[in-house]
Amino acid sequence: MRTSEKPAVTPAGPNGALSGPASRKLPVPPRERKPALAALAVLLILGGALASTLLVMRSGERISAIRVTQQIGTGQPMSAEALQEVQIADTGIDYVPWSRRFEVVRNFAATTILPGTLLTAQMTITASQELGPGKAKVGLALKAGQYPAGLDKGDRVQVVYVPGRTSQTAGRVLAQSALVHSVSPPGRTGSSGLITIIVDSSVSPDIVARASTGEIAVAELPGAR
């Protein structure tokens, strides 16, 4: 008796899908790697880590700088008593180092420098235009009411001729913008305060003449520093 061989039947899955070799997926070729991109990523990571490290290290570096402790007016000499050594973080700003303080005191303020300012090279000049040729220092002995309270060196003032009560002459401005060089407040006896101003030499004789008779007053110009 001949027995016939039946072809093998691939069993179906639960949902009728083939579950044998026929159901296997064809192999997918591996993705092509890009060495250049991988190397670039590594370099970016290393560069970021290095930059962070440098910032941390630099923030810990300290430098010795100069801090101004007293107001220095425009054109005034850089006084040694107004300079103080401070230790600050190195932020890359061109602060004048404390080691150059002896050079600084031979210079003048290019603009009004307020207390607490860290000094930079742009704040000083080698020659003062305010104290140069064509200028004159004039001392004024003024009483209360002839000058504003709180007047300080480096301020700008208007010098005004104030005639006496019996005079028929109107007051007039003698110097539009004079620089206050120094201020000495009145003493305990109630004496006059001495104010030294810098004006053009062309008007200094008139100011001196009026000041000798007590017919001078000054008005502060806050916005003209």
pLDDT in tens, the chain (225 residues): 455 555 555 555 555 555 555 555 555 555 555 666 667 666 777 676 676 666 655 555 788 999 999 988 877 888 899 999 999 888 778 899 999 999 999 888 888 888 999 999 899 888 776 777 888 999 998 888 888 888 888 888 999 998 877 666 777 899 998 888 888 877 665 567 889 999 999 999 999 999 888 889 999 988 665
pTM over 0.75: no
Q: Which of 117, 127, 183, 116 is nearest to 155 (CA)?
A: 183
Residues in the chain: 225
Longest C-alpha distance within the chain, in Å?
160
DSSP-assigned beta bridge partners for residue 34:
none
Report the distance separating Cα 131 and Cα 112, nearest Å.
Answer: 15
Q: What is the pLDDT of residue 5?
A: 52
Q: Which CATH class is domain 62-125?
A: alpha beta
- Separation CA 99–CA 66 (nearest Å): 9
Q: Of 122, 123, 125, which Cα lies nearest the Cα of 107?
A: 125
Whether 220 contacts 160, CB under 8 Å: no
Q: How far apart are CA 44 and CA 47, in angstroms?
A: 5
Identify the pLDDT of residue 93: 82
- Looking at residue 1, its pLDDT comes to 46
